[in-house]
Chain A
């Protein structure tokens, strides 16, 4: 056991810190997370500097480093009060681990350099937690898959170039075995996207309608009928707090609030008990960071159900943290509109997206603890 930085990590941190310091001289990095143009520019610049997908093979645009470097990027960005890295590890791992060589070469560079945004077409109006009951169909004829159906809660669909779509291609097969994963070009004819505004006011969700959309069979990710396995693989990464840049986002929010509050306590404008409450939220965040470090340091290829454990912990941390941050504003929280209130509203999504908290608990109980399914 040795948590100390290796020479390689020390060098990496130094280089990243220098890059951030230099970057903030010439760019505004204090933009709101719902300022999508700024977010996209930041993602592209961060990728161009080599700090996105650090753990991906060099030939696809990564740096071929160990998974722990993803956590280091999160922590360094946060401690410099910079925005978090883009949440794309789950897309990248799906393509890298299941896609054909041709798909990897064609799609990974644009994904990893953040010039081509992605979205995931999983949930449907009648298939949420019961994802395997989804109905969007993909009829395979020759070299083409004809897609018809509807997806919902699709984050980023309004500006995405590509969609990883889970559709039913084998209607004769039982639920899970009838699905395939495919990459859909969102500029294809027959696609209609309609934004859905979140309770925060941000229009990051969308409904996506597929009406006779033609997708090349060569866009299948994994084999026909293997879609469920690909989807579960993808979700296990979507649940990784460092893979998704969550820990960095929490740390940044916490440290900013702590510095402001400490000043107010000093000036007698706030009570010490408020600081103690924030510190308690910080204790849980620190433990999440240690948990993620241990996960990444011991992770081989697939986070599997470990992703569910870490996501359940991240859910506790995020929802407590943003509630405390909201409370710190006192009555101001409800008197004027604020980012803190929106951040609080957004924190409620953590227990819903990527598989609800209840689904994660089922997975941990049944897959890890060996409790029987009813």
Chain B
């Protein structure tokens, strides 16, 4: 058994981390909800992440074969770590959905090349990909349309009211159902395919949660090492150390879950992958909220202000937690399986 990343994967992660940091650095949190930047990347930034191959990770257009789900998770962890305000996760989810449903290459190609930006469509409770128009489009920043993968065809809708909800770094939108959608017949629809899509989605969102936890925690830990009270760094107090140690345990456990789950997506049956992915998502969802809340506590007063970046991760964690179902939903699904 080999639970290590390859040298290529380590190198890929480092490069992805640099670009993620670079993209996040140009986004301004502002001083309040009124002055926060929109989470729409500039054409230049979008070009950078397209050139880095981020959107094409799971596309087999160039004949070199697709990247592994582990690779995708390594990237997405960096998106969460830096709370990158760009619709990468949504695009990756849509591309995977289209690939698994057998969408025509001419529909996928412009997405992975970044020429066309489209968003996936989820049920209103965010628990699964939608099958009808009672739905919400996810990660819609800069997108011209969203894609509803119905039972027998793809329907492309325009959107209305694209805006951020609780999360400042990814947008949501409504489908413009007044317009007649463009339809494309689909080849593949099966239980197997549904399970594979869900396993991939749950796993990559868990990877985003892993990144979010780590990002918030590194920030809080750095604070604990320099912030002094009673004449010493607060990180020297066991009251802080014990909170921090448990955060670290949660992060390492989440990493074990994400890596295993990511590996199963490509290597085991869709059914086995889905079970692992539900387990990983359940764990990551509750662990991330606990860790981010602990980070706010370590940060103290600044941690509950707009001045601190803590709430950016906290907000992102809450959206991630609901995406494809929170820990309670996963528990029910696993109990019923």
B245 close to chain A: CB less than 8 A = yes
8 Å CB contact of A362 from B241, B264, B279: B241
Min CB–CB distance B196 → chain A (angstroms): 18
Q: Which of B3-11, B80-88, B105-113, B177-185 contacts A (4 or more CB under 8 A)?
A: B3-11
Q: Give every chain B residue within 8 A of A1 (Cβ-Cβ).
A: 2-6, 9, 70, 259, 263
B221 close to chain A: CB less than 8 A = yes
Contact across chains for A298 and B4 when beta carbons are under 8 A apart: yes
Known contacts A68-B1, A372-B225: does B242 contact A365 (CB below 8 Å)?
yes
List residues of B (241-257) whose CB comes within 8 Å of A's CBs. 241-242, 244-246, 248-249, 252-257
A370 close to chain B: CB less than 8 A = yes
List residues of A (232-287) whose CB comes within 8 Å of B's CBs. 272, 275-276, 278-280, 282-284, 286-287
Q: Give every chain A residue within 8 A of B248 (Cβ-Cβ).
A: 309, 364, 368-369
A301 close to chain B: CB less than 8 A = no
Q: How many A residues are at the interface, by size bracket?
A: 35 or more
Contact across chains for B221 and A362 when beta carbons are under 8 A apart: no
- The residue in chain A whose Cβ has the minimal distance to the Cβ of B260 is A290
A313 close to chain B: CB less than 8 A = yes
B238 close to chain A: CB less than 8 A = yes
Contact across chains for B241 and A366 when beta carbons are under 8 A apart: yes
User: In the complex, A308→B280 CA distance in Å?
Assistant: 22
List residues of B (314-337) whose CB comes within 8 Å of A's CBs. 327-328, 330-332, 334-335
User: In the complex, A368→B241 CA distance in Å?
Assistant: 11
Contact across chains for A374 and B249 when beta carbons are under 8 A apart: no
Q: Give every chain A residue within 8 A of B302 (Cβ-Cβ).
A: none
User: In the complex, A291→B328 CA distance in Å?
Assistant: 22
User: In the complex, A278→B334 CA distance in Å?
Assistant: 11
Q: Give every chain A residue within 8 A of B255 (Cβ-Cβ).
A: 294
Min CB–CB distance B241 → chain A (angstroms): 3
8 Å CB contact of A6 from B1, B70, B238, B282: B1
Contact across chains for A287 and B253 when beta carbons are under 8 A apart: yes
Contact across chains for B1 and A362 when beta carbons are under 8 A apart: no
Min CB–CB distance A357 → chain B (angstroms): 9
List residues of B (226-273) whose CB comes within 8 Å of A's CBs. 232-233, 235-238, 240-242, 244-246, 248-249, 252-257, 259-260, 263-264, 267
A360 close to chain B: CB less than 8 A = yes
Known contacts A3-B260, A312-B245: does B236 contact A374 (CB below 8 Å)?
yes
User: In the complex, A371→B248 CA distance in Å?
Assistant: 12
Q: Give every chain A residue within 8 A of B233 (Cβ-Cβ).
A: 371-372
How would residues 1 to 19 of chain A score, 1 for a CB under 8 Å from any chain B CB and 0 otherwise?
A: 1111110010000000000
User: In the complex, A101→B113 CA distance in Å?
Assistant: 64
B224 close to chain A: CB less than 8 A = yes
- The residue in chain A whose Cβ has the minimal distance to the Cβ of B232 is A374
How would residues 335 to 374 of chain A score, 1 for a CB under 8 Å from any chain B CB and 0 otherwise?
A: 0000000000000000000000010111111101111111
The SS class assigned to the B binding surface is helix
User: In the complex, A365→B328 CA distance in Å?
Assistant: 30
Min CB–CB distance B13 → chain A (angstroms): 13
A48 close to chain B: CB less than 8 A = no
Contact across chains for A309 and B252 when beta carbons are under 8 A apart: yes
A137 close to chain B: CB less than 8 A = no
8 Å CB contact of B279 from A68, A283, A316: A283
Q: Give every chain A residue within 8 A of B334 (Cβ-Cβ).
A: 279, 282-283
B138 close to chain A: CB less than 8 A = no
Q: Give every chain B residue within 8 A of A374 (Cβ-Cβ).
A: 232, 236-238
User: In the complex, A177→B282 CA distance in Å?
Assistant: 46
Q: Give every chain A residue within 8 A of B253 (Cβ-Cβ).
A: 287-288, 290-291, 313
Contact across chains for B332 and A276 when beta carbons are under 8 A apart: yes
Contact across chains for A3 and B241 when beta carbons are under 8 A apart: no
User: In the complex, A300→B254 CA distance in Å?
Assistant: 22
Min CB–CB distance B60 → chain A (angstroms): 20
Min CB–CB distance B291 → chain A (angstroms): 13
Contact across chains for B2 and A372 when beta carbons are under 8 A apart: no
B283 close to chain A: CB less than 8 A = yes
Contact across chains for A373 and B267 when beta carbons are under 8 A apart: no
Interface centre among A283, A313, A316 (most CB of B within 10 A): A283
User: In the complex, A11→B225 CA distance in Å?
Assistant: 50
Min CB–CB distance A107 → chain B (angstroms): 31
Min CB–CB distance A354 → chain B (angstroms): 16
A297 close to chain B: CB less than 8 A = yes
A113 close to chain B: CB less than 8 A = no
Which residues on A are within 8 Å of B, measured CB to CB?
A: 1-6, 9, 68, 272, 275-276, 278-280, 282-284, 286-288, 290-291, 293-294, 297-298, 309, 312-313, 316, 358, 360-366, 368-374
Which residues on B are within 8 Å of A, measured CB to CB?
A: 1-6, 9, 70, 221, 224-225, 232-233, 235-238, 240-242, 244-246, 248-249, 252-257, 259-260, 263-264, 267, 279-280, 282-283, 327-328, 330-332, 334-335
6 closest residue pairs by CB, A with B: A365-B241, A361-B245, A364-B245, A297-B3, A291-B256, A371-B235
13 A-B pairs whose Cβ atoms sit less than 8 Å apart in the complex: A1-B6, A1-B9, A280-B282, A283-B330, A291-B256, A297-B1, A313-B249, A313-B252, A368-B248, A369-B221, A371-B233, A373-B236, A374-B236
